[in-house]
Amino acid sequence: MQDYPSSAKLPDAKPHRSLLERLTALISPEPENRAELLEILHDAHERNLIDADALSMIEGVFQVSDLAARDIMVPRSQVDMVDISKPIEAWMPLVLETAHSRFPAVDGERDRVVGILLAKDLLRYYAEESFDVRGMLRPAVFIPEAKRLNVLLSDFRANRNHMAVVVDEYGGVAGLITIEDVLEQIVGDIEDEYDFDEEEDNILALKDGPLGPRWRVKALTEIEQFNDAIGSHFADEGVDTIGGLIAGHLGRMPRKGETFDLAGLRFEVMRADARQVHVLLVEKLPQQAAVQDEDNL
């Protein structure tokens, strides 16, 4: 067998290519922007080169870079907090009822978050005679409403945090966001033993927009519940959910970022994948615009 000098290259040696380089080589012609790349990926899905789950997660990665904390946070009114200025017996029933693993701890006012209380630390309350709840608190992380989710996810991983308090431009508490909320934008809903499909979580009221009242609505919300909450009059014949109604109106599966008006309401698709719509932003149009919209139906 012939020996090659240590400095020589083997005749058949090929340069190692990264996974990204190999994936890029498969795409021809090369996409010039994100929209073209998504079109190619959707075409690959239609030709069964990638499955729906893979396509959904790729789209989720793109969405994470587009969305901000305000888009997916739990609004302030829906956040379960413990007020440590009160005796433990006053808020312990809330801890047991909601069964969360973490709670923002406030000192008298909901805008005065002083830390994060881990439910497991409350075990010491039953084992120790002198229990100092303030000494059990972990530092709270505060982020602005406009913080991008991809940056937030990186911070969560680097600092090993699981929860952040979202504050508005005036320093008041606007909502709450967890690492699970961010990951769900990529992999879909993550259910644990304490997740319940409660109807009151289907529609969340947001701050009024430039046009009027706004809501964040799960696409699986039943039309009857949607009508009751929003004051609309959509028929539920042939479809059961608001997501099904939207898909039927468009005649196709809507994509993330699409906006359209229907019966006095403006719908924006906040989250969707190749299989279904997940979350909608609904805004009530001014009365004059609503009348014109209804005339065009």
pLDDT in tens, the chain (297 residues): 444 444 444 444 445 666 666 655 555 557 677 777 778 887 887 788 887 777 777 877 887 888 889 888 888 888 889 999 999 889 998 888 888 889 999 998 989 999 999 988 888 887 777 778 888 899 999 999 999 998 999 999 888 888 999 998 888 999 999 998 888 877 766 554 334 444 556 788 877 777 778 888 888 889 999 998 888 888 877 788 888 888 888 888 777 778 888 888 999 887 776 667 888 888 988 875 444 444 444
pLDDT at res. 21? 61
* Distance from C-alpha of 249 to C-alpha of 239, rounded to nearest angstrom: 11
CATH number given to 200-295: 3.30.465.10
Six-digit token string for 142: 């505060």
CA 194 remoteness from chain centre: 18
Six-digit token string for 135: 């000494």
* Distance from C-alpha of 285 to C-alpha of 70, rounded to nearest angstrom: 21
On whether the CB atoms of residues 46 and 55 are closer than 8 A, the answer is no
Q: What is the location of CATH 3.30.465.10 in the chain?
A: 200-295
Strand residue runs (E) in the chain: 74-75, 82-83, 102-106, 113-118, 142-144, 163-167, 173-178, 203-206, 214-218, 259-262, 265-272, 277-284
Which positions ≥6 away from 228 have C-beta within 8 Å?
A: none
H helical segments located in 47-87: 52-66, 69-72
Q: What is the location of CATH 3.10.580.10 in the chain?
A: 72-184
* Distance from C-alpha of 80 to C-alpha of 21, rounded to nearest angstrom: 46
CB neighbour class for 2 (10 Å; exposed up to 12, middle 13-18, buried from 19): exposed
* Distance from C-alpha of 269 to C-alpha of 252, rounded to nearest angstrom: 13
pLDDT at res. 103? 93
pLDDT at res. 16? 60
**CATH 3.10.580.10 given to domain 72-184:** yes
pLDDT at res. 15? 52
Strand, helix or coil at 178? strand
